[in-house]
Chain A
Amino acid sequence: MYTICCGSASLLFIVSYNKSFQARNSVSGNGTRLAVHIRGGDAISYHKLKEHSALLFDISKLAFDSVLRVLQDIGFARVIGSGTSKTVVPTVPYFDNMYETLGSAAEDEGLNELEQMSIHIVNSLAVCPRSKGELASSLGTDSPTMERILRIGKAGSYINEVNVEDESLLVSPLYFAEKPEEFARVVKKHGEASVSKVFKLLRQNPGWPLSKLMQTQEIAGTGLSQDEFQIAMVIVKKGLVQPPEITTSYSGTNEFLFTPPLGTNRILVVEKEIYEKAMACISCVRQGEHFGHWNIKWPSAIIRALLNYGELKPTTLAKEQYRPMCIRGIVRLQKVRGDWWKPVLVDIPENRRALLLALEMLGGGEVLTERGYDSDSVKAIYSDSDYTEAIRGYGNVVQRKKIPKPRQEYEAEIDNLLFDVQKGT
């Protein structure tokens, strides 16, 4: 289920980049970015939020009111007071309700052909890089349109183009942020279908042990052909999948396979630190599932127990099995008696977010909890101090590159802004 774009937040981010590129109000996309960051927060000064939105989320001050109006229309915010005391009261819902409602808002706003094609392309790049020529012909799009989509995609950092042996391949950094050229080479050599299958299986079964794959040539009961197995070995050797390892006295060193984290520096899907913690959690549980003395039957149940009860039952293997989680500060290991140790959750929000992410990944479902959330931006919005002072403290969030635009598109955008000014608010 990682083939995710449509109807979800990725769609909205892509739409937002497309729309801003086309000098239109990127209402629903911007609305998503804003909603994610004010959810659950205090009432905030309208003027402060407007300033922050411009600096943190690239929402122009002229577009801000339209974005806020959409949030009001769908019941995600109330605006009270007037003049200098004008205040935004966030009422953004939790769980999947937020994305469902915003998704509908984006649909209502209407997607043009260019946006639909962008989404289709990113969707098809979710499982593996693809040939640019083949994609263009499957979409039936002409060369100038394809180039325009790619230019916007590159600027928005959700599509990348890589040349391998005179062939142009497209890669989505949303899914393959690291070593895109290597990915493209593997696809060129082995073909899209086989690479897709291997990646899909690895995404659906995060933390699958490398040794099991090598022994059985299977991933979670699905057999791989000799060619597919070779692909799996190549992507491991080239470091295209992330293999954290656990060393224990009873089963040696085991490596666990994960696909790269979702998102890029520009489009935050999951914070890297949280993803790495989630990988550590899953590896530890997989260690127990495949190499323990009493095998764990339901990996998700372990994560859920840790979330619910704050600790796991003591075992004699716990000290070695959960060491990676201990190193990352997710649990501390508490001695019960003799060799019996129990992992106790270090109960801080980051660890809970990591465990929830691990739960979602193990369920093979779409990662919704963490999508697009940037804790630094939230801190900046709700800082008491002056907005520029607050943002200065969070260098990373303002270092996002602007989308380069050709002259005529700048002019079009200025024309639109002039129209907005003329129309008044």
Chain B
Amino acid sequence: MEKDALQKRRLGELFWSWGYLTHYNVKLFDPRSAGSAREELTDVDVLGHKVSPNLHEERVCGDCRTLKGMSPINRAFWQRGVMDYLRISRGYIVVRKPPTENHKQTAHDLGITLFDDQTFDIYRSKLGLIPKLDTMKMFKKESWDYFQNNIPSRQGLSSLLSYRYYGYWTDRPNRALRFTLMEVFGARDKLDEKQKHHIALVLDSATHFSSSFLSMIAELFQIHAVTDNKELLDDYLKAYIYGGREVYAHLNQITKKLIQLKQGDQNTLYKEEEGKERPTDLSLPEWDTFLQLYRTLLEAPGIAVEVPRILRFALFERILYNNDSVKLMDAIPNITTHAVKLSADVVTYFLKASQLLQKFGKDIITVLDDLLLSLKKEDEAGILAKSQHKKQAK
């Protein structure tokens, strides 16, 4: 089992080196399950998700378990099913004993690479593994256990935790975007800014939100590119988030009728809050800021793709652990200050929309600002060194 955990970590590091945001032990459930007891279907050891700089969404997955009596190719057929279910393009399986050539060839045809331990090590060394990742907390099992097992459970958090652990993975990005935000919004009164693990949970949710947000950009950019007309943008985004124009129109009609019912009829029990602006259309909270955020990220979408990984780094290396010995640049070698700035923009929206900016803003934004400042310092030192080198060369 220890060996499995080590390979899992190594696979996670490899995915990260390729630009993916990595998740461990992703459990799959049928989202339509009506029974009271949740039935786990299967789980994925390592799942990687990224929006590439050319704005295409990509997912990879990896499996490292030793299952007695199951041949490598059987494992590959199982993984192919999981990949189809989760819209994953590429799979990797690490097994103990070297698989036969036939197994490897067939797995390859299924979009899966089969390794034994030894070839996996060669693969890692040849395919651009970032050297300092082993010093980081975010790939270690004990760090994840520390995070997930210590979130103070409170009444009112179960829906958020349930979605974060089980629901998020099978949802389409538009629903995941909506639900991640609204689950945190729903639990806002139960989240305590004095609890480190609650801060971590909020940042983790913001990380998932940012991943879904980027998936949205990836899809809409391919269709509309940059939209500078606010009304059009409003239209596109609402249609996307609520699953199409017809669905949105229907839900919006219901929303309007409910608002009318609440506000218009003197006989109802509801009274409008004084001075509060009446919502007219269905949208996510702080909709105007959402539009601004979308437009801001569109200014540099190729840079924005790093936002989820910056937030993950901040969560494990700064908030949960004070792992100052590692720098952001060690985790993401080509990272820019612009990407960190955009991360702060995303988190600011997320906290504002979930009404947590006052409570959690200071802790999280300060961490991101510190990352930005130290990166800037390194950048400036680099530029200075370069210009000195030029002068010397002259």
| Interface of A toward B, CB cutoff 8 Å | 40-43, 45, 80-81, 85, 87, 89-91, 93-97, 304, 307-308, 310, 347, 349, 352-353, 356, 359, 369, 384
| Complex contacts, B134 vs chain A, CB 8 Å | none
Residues of B within 8 A of A308 (CB): 223-224, 232
With beta carbons under 8 angstroms apart, the residue of B224, B225, B373 that contacts A80 is: B373
Q: Of residues 217 to 236 in B, which have CB atoms within 8 Å of A's CB atoms?
A: 223-230, 232
B383 at the interface (CB under 8 A from A): yes
Q: Known contacts A89-B344, A97-B292; decide if A43 and B225 are in contact (CB<8 Å).
A: no
Given contacts A43-B340, A80-B372, A95-B230, 5 further A-B contacts (CB under 8 A): A89-B341, A308-B224, A352-B226, A356-B229, A369-B228
A352 vs B288: C-alpha distance in the bound complex, in angstroms? Answer: 23
Interface pairs (15), CB distance under 8 Å: A40-B300, A41-B299, A42-B338, A43-B337, A43-B372, A45-B380, A87-B372, A89-B372, A91-B345, A304-B232, A307-B225, A307-B227, A353-B228, A356-B228, A369-B228
Q: Find the A residue at minimum CB distance from B340.
A: A43
Cβ-Cβ contact count across A and B, 8 Å cutoff: 71
Question: Could you tell me the distance in whole angstroms from the C-beta of B280 to the nearest C-beta in chain A?
Answer: 18
A307→B227 CA distance, assembly (Å):
8
The answer to the question of B296 belonging to the interface, with a C-beta cut-off of 8 Å to chain A, is yes
Chain B 353-394 per-residue mask, 1 if CB under 8 angstroms from chain A, else 0 = 000000000000000010011001100100100000000000
User: Is there contact, CB below 8 Å, between A97 and B337?
Assistant: no
- Point out the residues of chain A lying under 8 angstroms from B345, CB to CB: 91
- Decide: A43 near B228, CB < 8 A? Known: A80-B369, A95-B291: no
A87 to B380, CA, bound (A): 12
Q: Are B229 and A42 touching (Cβ within 8 A)? A: no
Q: How far is the CB of B300 from chain A (nearest CB, A)?
A: 7
Q: Is A42 a contact of B336 with CB atoms below 8 Å?
A: yes
Please tell me if the beta carbons of A45 and B230 are within 8 angstroms of each other in the complex: no
Most buried by A among B227, B228, B348, B377: B228
**Given contacts A43-B372, A85-B376, A93 and B292 within 8 Å (CB-CB):** yes
Chain B residues with CB under 8 Å of A347's CB are 225
B262 at the interface (CB under 8 A from A): no
Contact A95 B295 (CB under 8 A): yes
Say whether B376 contacts A43, CB under 8 Å.
yes
Q: Which of A89, A91, A97 has the most C-beta atoms of chain B within 10 angstroms of its own C-beta?
A: A89
Question: What residues of B have a CB within 8 angstroms of the CB of A349 in the complex?
Answer: 226
Contact: B226 with A85, CB < 8 Å?
A: no
Docked complex Cα distance between A43 and B229 (Å): 25
CB <8 Å contact, B338 and A94:
no
Q: Which residues of A contact B226 (CB under 8 A)?
A: 349, 352
Tell me, in angstroms, the Cα distance from A193 to B273 when the chains sit together. 51
Could you say which residues of chain A place their CB within 8 Å of the CB of B292? 93-95, 97
**A40 in contact with B337 (CB, 8 Å):** no
The docked-state distance in angstroms from the alpha carbon of A87 to that of B372 is: 9
Task: List the 4 shortest-distance A-B pairs measured between CB atoms, nearest first.
Answer: A40-B299, A42-B338, A94-B295, A95-B230
Question: What are the residues of chain B within 8 A of A310 when measuring CB–CB?
Answer: 225
A residues less than 8 Å from B348 (CB atoms): 91
Q: Does B225 lie within 8 Å of A352, measured CB to CB?
A: yes
Q: Which residues of A contact B224 (CB under 8 A)?
A: 307-308
Q: Given A310-B225, A356-B228: A43 and B291 within 8 A (CB)? A: no
Closest-by-CB residue of A relative to B338 is A42
Verify B300–A43 contact, CB threshold 8 A. Answer: no
Q: Is there contact, CB below 8 Å, between A97 and B383?
A: no
Within the assembled complex, what's the spacing in Å between the Cα atoms of A369 and B227?
11
Closest to B387 in A: A386
Task: Point out the residues of chain A lying under 8 angstroms from B344, CB to CB.
Answer: 89
CA distance A359 to B232 in the complex (A): 12
Given the complex of chains A and B, what is the CA–CA distance between A236 and B223 in angstroms? 41
- Docked-complex contact A85 and B341, CB < 8 angstroms: no
